[in-house]
A and B are shown apart, each in its own frame.
Chain A
Amino acid sequence: MSFLHHTATPVNAQRPNSTPVLMRWVLIATLPGIAVMTYYFGAGVLANIVIATVIGLALEAAVLTLRKRPIRPALNDSSTLVTAVLLGVALPPASPWWLISVGMVAAVVVAKQLYGGLGQNPFNPAMVGYALLLVSFPTYMTLWSPPQPLLPETLWAQMLGLLPAAEWDATSGATPLDAFKHKGEAVLASEFWATNPLPPDTLDAWQHSGWAWLLGGGLLLYKRIISWHIPVAMLGSMTLLAALFYAGDPSHFASPSFHLFTGAAIFGAFFIATDPVSAATSRRGKLIYGAGIGALVMLIRTFGAYPDAVAFAVLLMNLCVPLLDLYSDPRVMGHAKTTRGQRPPGGEA
């Protein structure tokens, strides 16, 4: 028992003092990224977020009612809001409403509430939703609109799912990662770039978004909402692997900076992988967890079927968390060695 509850203390202002406050800071930190993405990819980004939020909150309330749990505290903790925003940002801008809804059902109902609600979910809810959609609806998930005005003409039709498939293709393109992946075996990187394979401003849009997410991540670090371990380990292992590949064959592999600044690497490192509930808990465990995600992202991007892989990498490492937790105990003061990985006396591990 500590009688000194830090809610009242200015000394600890550096550290957020309750779960809802913590979640709200995460939301605030997403603002620069959302702003830059909206600037480049139009209001579809915001539309995704709004739809995901409305559906997410409704689903959460509905499931809590069915589970006969108090609704207000769960909605007030803003955790569903965070899930909705993260999924909304991750989906291609102006995704149809039903796509977002399916994703939110997987995220909120299956990945979160069916496991027991906040704090109980072994998998990152937003990534469960994303991965399900990516596997089930690849056409909608792999097409990403090129930079476009704030209010593209087809926005409403896209959101309502009324846009014919042919026109859908016309309004969308590939992400830089996707384009580079499918450049073809015989094409050298220099030749590929020489053809101007992407619509104008595409690379800028992705790079500037990356910087904006980095800014938000910096805020989270500064406010000590996340620790440095996971983002640094993840981006570090990505950079290392990308550099190795690149150094080995620069004509076929993309540079480390291309890997870091296109796709979801930075967003994933600061906002997805750092979800405390589904990440490893000890500091040592977090380093391994982050490095594992980075390595998996690079391996799937380079050798797998998907152009980007943050969702799969995070989910795969979520699976490893119980093992990491078991093997990453710090040495307790007064003990010569850790009991890392030991079975409890008399119990089964």
Chain B
Amino acid sequence: MSRAFDFPGGVYPPERKTRSTERPLSDTPLPDRVVLPLSQHSGRPAVPCVAVGEQVHTGTLIAQPDNMISSALHASISGKVVEINTAHIIIEKDTGNAGDKKDTETRLKPLDWRAAEPETLLERLDTSGVVGLGGAGFPTQVKARVRERHSLDTLVVNAAECEPYITADDVTLRHFAADVLEGAQLMAKLAGAEQILVGIEDNKPEAIAALEAAVPKSLPLPVVINVIETRYPSGGERQLIKKLLDREVPSGGLPADVGVLCHNPGTLSAVLHAVRDGAPLTSRIVTLTGNALARPGNYRVRLGTPMRELLQHAGLNAAKLTTLIHGGPMMGVALTDLDTPVGKTTNCLIAATADELPAAPTESPCIRCGACEDVCPASLLPQQLHWYARAGDDARLERYHLFDCIECGACSYVCPSHIPLVDDYREAKARLRLKRIEATKAEHAKHRFEFRQARLAREEAEKQARREARLAQAKRPSQAEENDGASNQADIRSLRIAQTAAKAAVRKAEKTLARAAQQDPQQDLSDLETQLATAQENLKAADAKLSAARKPSTS
């Protein structure tokens, strides 16, 4: 596979990765109490299915997925459910037997993925609560179903891990390269892919060696390891696909649109455990790093463990800690609460000192130097976006493709004026999203109103028709005036035209609805249905008016 392909832009921030790879992977001590948020994935929060006081084991299902895009949640320690609210479930370890520190585990039936039916495997992924562990937390089961609407040829293992500090995937591969590749084979089978590509940056020689050793045993699909230059953000899905395959994911589209499915190594290993061992997702590997820690490294952590416990286990020097970052230094978020629990998407915690990640200097005016444009991995014009975001010019933000920004932070990183560009973009995106939602809502309301008006008009027309029929009956037929007939003829003609137009409108609405339903059965069609009903009401009203106009003349 050629390495000639490239994505635009990119930066070379200091890596600072070695400090967390020097220590071997180890388990953190079992927490006494875990807080498990119901929303650790993208989509709708899980729905609790246990009661307070219930005894649970590690791996017991405690919350079920709600609807299509959601994920199951499992107890990560054995003990008793002590609290359930709309945000989380809290489990405390049993304190009954003083000497009993044993964690009891419950597992599902192991499956042989090579023999199992795809539907069985998908269901297993669903019930195991596996989500993308790289950061987005998209339910893996939903991603695996993408085959239903796209034809896929390549499964990409995204092992680039381009953000500084983070080494969770690196360490996962060093220890479990074979598992990751087997997970990849499993997911590739589900997706119907024909090849597996591993994209990994050249700053992880040990992980690359482990992968190379595991490749010959990985069957049935061919696996290609593609070592790429270390450049941020090569681990961005779109950037990696461009780099490995020279394919561009269309704007607003998914990798599946170009026949690719991307998975993170941690996710693939979790998939394999869920299927082969029947173990739901109850723990993950987290990089604990930063200068405020005496023992930085990678740790296997039970989900829901408070971060304070982890950091203390890794030798936190609380006096030196100035910023705690969840994720990497480029895209992560600063946490204010040390008691935040570790979730499914917690890949890294950076306990930073003031020296290593100093606060941003004061912003100065943009001098239009264009450094941001040089580094943008999506070929956007960050400074134009900056002006229009500050000016609140939404039309121009769309024109300059704000929504193609992947928020990688390369522009903020190089800006000599220290403008927090990505913050501006996030804010503008949120505002625009809200506006879009409002616009759709207004559109719906308009269609509902039109439907009501049409219904009222139809009822009125029918009432009128009945009234006229009664009147005509009461009058003597002979008294029908001759000259009235001419104007009546004209009325009937125009009413006929109106009726034909109404019929055409109904047909058009039916067609639009049918086409939309064919394109995407999942989407919400209620608005189009309302529009069809409106057209039908209009037709009925036209029918009624026409028949009313005809009756007196004929009778």
Contact = CB atoms under 8 A, between A and B. Distances in A.
Interface in A320-349: 325, 329-336, 339, 342-347
Contact of A4 (B13, B355, B395, B416): B13
Contacts of A8: 355-358
B54 interface: no
Contact of B370 (A21, A227, A333, A339): A227
A325 B384 contact: yes
B366 A119 contact: yes
Contact of A18 (B238, B399, B418): B418
A73 to B, nearest CB: 7
Interface string B342-381: 0000000010100111111110111111110110011111
B412 interface: yes
Contact of B399 (A21, A79, A331, A345): A345
Contact of A332 (B14, B251, B357, B423): B251
A276 B398 contact: no
Contacts of A277: 367-368
A120 interface: yes
A196 interface: no
Interface residues of A, number: 50
Contacts of B356: 8
Contact of A7 (B11, B323, B358, B367): B358
B6 to A, nearest CB: 11
Interface residues of B, number: 68
A174 interface: no
B479 to A, nearest CB: 60
A3 B330 CA distance: 6
Contacts of B396: 344, 347
Interface in B379-395: 379-381, 383-384, 393, 395
Q: A interface, by DSSP: helix, strand, loop or mixed?
A: loop
B365 A346 contact: no
Contacts of A171: none
Contact of B367 (A2, A119, A333): A119
A247 B60 CA distance: 87
B242 interface: yes
Nearest to B420: A1
Q: Which of A282, A329, A333, A342 has the most CB of B within 10 A?
A: A333
A5 B393 contact: no
A5 B417 CA distance: 11
Interface string A72-92: 010001010000000000000
A208 B14 CA distance: 41
Contacts of A10: 14
Interface of A: 1-12, 15-19, 21-22, 73, 77, 79, 117-120, 227, 276-277, 279, 281-283, 286, 325, 329-336, 339, 342-347
8 contacts: A4-B14, A4-B164, A5-B418, A8-B355, A17-B416, A18-B418, A73-B364, A276-B368
